[in-house]
Amino acid sequence: MKLYAERTFRIDTENAFKVGPHIDRVEEEIGAVVKLNLGEPDFPVPRHIKDEIKRQLDLDNTHYCDPKGLITLRQAIAKQVGETRGLKVSAERVVVFPGGKPSIGLVQQVYCSPGNEVIYPSPGFPIYESFIHYVEGVPVPLHLDESSNFTFTPEQLSQLITPRTKLIYLNFPSNPTGGVASPEQLEAIAAVIRDRCPLEVRVYSDEIYENIIFDGNIHHSIASLPGMESRTIIASGFSKTYAWTGGRIGYAVFPTEEEADVFKNMNINYFSCVPPYNQEAARVALESPLSLPAVSRMVETFQKRRDVIWEKLNRVEGITCQKPGGAFYLFPNISAVCESLGLIDHHRRMNASDREETSPAGLFQMFALYHHHVAVLARRSFGRFGSEGKHYIRLSTASDLEVLEDGVRRLNAAVEDREGVKQFLAVRPDIR
């Protein structure tokens, strides 16, 4: 008898956590690392939200509560989602989760049977792909096109839909690319879904970056379009908008109350409930007039950082980068860098098992970390299937501008360091 169930090893992890021990090793053995790998706003939680957490703790609001989420918070979410998307949303369709991740995996467990196909953006948030094999589904990556600012065409989506399609993930603004779909693109995507998909196919619209959008644009949700509310799960949360990643407050609005009750039961079995003191603070975040200026200041800062670093990245020889429309990432193309440093040829010559564990961009990621002490994430961290031949890295702009500029200088030095690459490839300190 084996210790572990076979499915245990079908689930993957988030590579952002895999690189952590390497960063620790470099900092212990060599010195400080410029960390451009973190998908976490570098701002404090707004004061009025922290004050409400403290107040709720002082009220001893620390006990079990409704597994679906506090009615006060669900009402606030329903009101906000309804007003921003032009929908009439009942609080009974809202379920509160401990962060944005649980609903990503739970929807596959609830809606997908073995053999069902799951369409998801690639590159995309890695947890979409991670769960598919766990539920014995079939991964169907929807490749995002750099030439269209990492969106996709309706034709691309249409070609992937089959009678076995059960779930479609959308993510705008996107992690890792910052891509934003226009209203016209969303309308065309919705038309394909209405035409090609039965009513029981669910669209999971991950809108966690909905408030971090640049250049005077506003967020648009596919759920707002005709015929889509009844098909769409709207998922968002408080981690990114309020720089509150440790608060673990996420939510989803389901097409029906019946579906929401199913996920309430999943919460009961997995989590019991989300801490009520954080839920009340989340309600304040949605309702307080102090929230908008705090969020606006953060978004303005992210846009300024984007503009400066985007320009500097495009000055580095061998790097090209699209200007993202939202989120707080840059996703430069380093194909020419990988070619000039010999990383593509080196990767091609590796034995099959070693080659499977990395990529040319992955080699550059580790070289930049171990030799130039700057941490980024390679394209393969955001979806393995279909990542072959795609040479990109993700940079987070969640650091002061001086730190970001130092990071770009270090990346530039890595790009020019041909002798250093040879030394790195000969020793591979990342696999010690």
SS3 state of residue 289: coil
Backbone phi and psi for residue 35, each to the nearest 5 degrees, phi listed first: -95, 100
Q: E strands of 326-396, at which residues?
A: 329-330, 374-375, 377-378, 393-396
First to last CA, the chain: 32
pTM surpassing 0.85?
A: yes
> How confident is the model at residue 149, as a pLDDT?
87
Measured between alpha carbons, how far is 132 from 378 in angstroms, rounded to an integer? 21
What is the token pair recorded at 216?
């005077």
What are the residues whose beta carbons fall under 8 Å from the beta carbon of 101, sequence distance 6 or more? 127, 250
> How confident is the model at residue 432, as a pLDDT?
75
Q: What domains sit in the chain, N to C, each tagged with a CATH number?
A: 6-43+293-431 (3.90.1150.10), 47-287 (3.40.640.10)
Measured between alpha carbons, how far is 325 from 214 in angstroms, rounded to an integer? 6
> How confident is the model at residue 18, as a pLDDT?
82
Name the amino acid, one letter, at 115. G
Mean pLDDT by 10 residues, the chain (432 residues): 90 81 95 94 97 98 98 98 98 98 97 98 95 95 90 96 98 97 97 98 98 97 98 98 97 98 98 97 98 98 98 98 97 98 97 91 98 97 89 97 98 98 96 82
> How far is CA 369 from each of CA 16, 142, 156, 409, 422, rounded to the nearest angstrom?
13, 30, 36, 13, 15
Strand pairing class (117-122; 165-171)? parallel
> How confident is the model at residue 116, as a pLDDT?
98
> How confident is the model at residue 12, as a pLDDT?
81
**Would you tell me how many other CB atoms lie within 10 Å of the CB of residue 35?**
22
> How confident is the model at residue 16, as a pLDDT?
72
> How confident is the model at residue 15, as a pLDDT?
72
SS3 state of residue 139: strand
Contact 399, 301 (CB under 8 A): no
> How confident is the model at residue 121, as a pLDDT?
97
CA Rg, the chain, in Å?
22
> How confident is the model at residue 401, as a pLDDT?
97
